[in-house]
């Protein structure tokens, strides 16, 4: 909803309310009497310029109130803390933090073959994905 509000904030537009009985293309919003601006205080009701005898309220979009939400949980910190409980990733982290033959030997053979794809970004363990490209394929 915030995305649409910021999108509409770029435009100056006027909204004309038409009651459901005068609106050919009625929808759920035009049928709700509590959305009729003529019955709500604090809105200016003026005559409209068309040939109908109805009165309509004019609204001008002048500003939007947005809320900035910040997460309370440090997801990155929780992921890093969870590495200690994971046997596979704890060994990979031990090797990447202090590379040696001993820490490399603690890894499984499959993990040793793929250890070049892992790297640390701060304390976060990252895995490099190699995408196949046409230039790497053998030409026949």
Q: What is the pLDDT of residues 122-136, one digit of tens each?
A: 888 998 887 766 565
Position with higher pLDDT, 57 vs 117: 117
Q: What is the pLDDT of residues 57-100, one digit of tens each?
A: 444 444 556 667 777 778 888 888 898 888 878 889 989 999 99
What are the φ and ψ backbone dihedral angles of 29, each rounded to 5 degrees? -70, -35
**Taking residues 89-117, what's their average pLDDT?**
89
């Amino acid at each position: 909803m915030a995305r649409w509000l910021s999108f509409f904030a770029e435009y100056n537009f006027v909204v004309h309310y038409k009651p459901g009985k005068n609106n050919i293309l009625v929808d759920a919003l035009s049928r709700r009497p509590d959305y009729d601006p003529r019955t709500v205080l604090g809105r200016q009701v003026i005559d409209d310029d068309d040939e109908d005898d109805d009165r309509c309220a004019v609204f001008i979009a002048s500003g939007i109130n947005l809320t900035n939400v910040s997460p309370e949980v440090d997801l990155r910190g929780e992921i890093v803390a969870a590495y200690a409980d994971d046997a596979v990733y704890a060994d990979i982290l031990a090797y990447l933090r202090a590379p040696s033959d001993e820490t490399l030997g603690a890894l499984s053979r499959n993990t040793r073959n793929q250890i070049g794809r892992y790297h640390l970004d701060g304390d976060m363990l990252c895995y490099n994905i190699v995408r196949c490209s046409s230039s790497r394929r053998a030409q026949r």
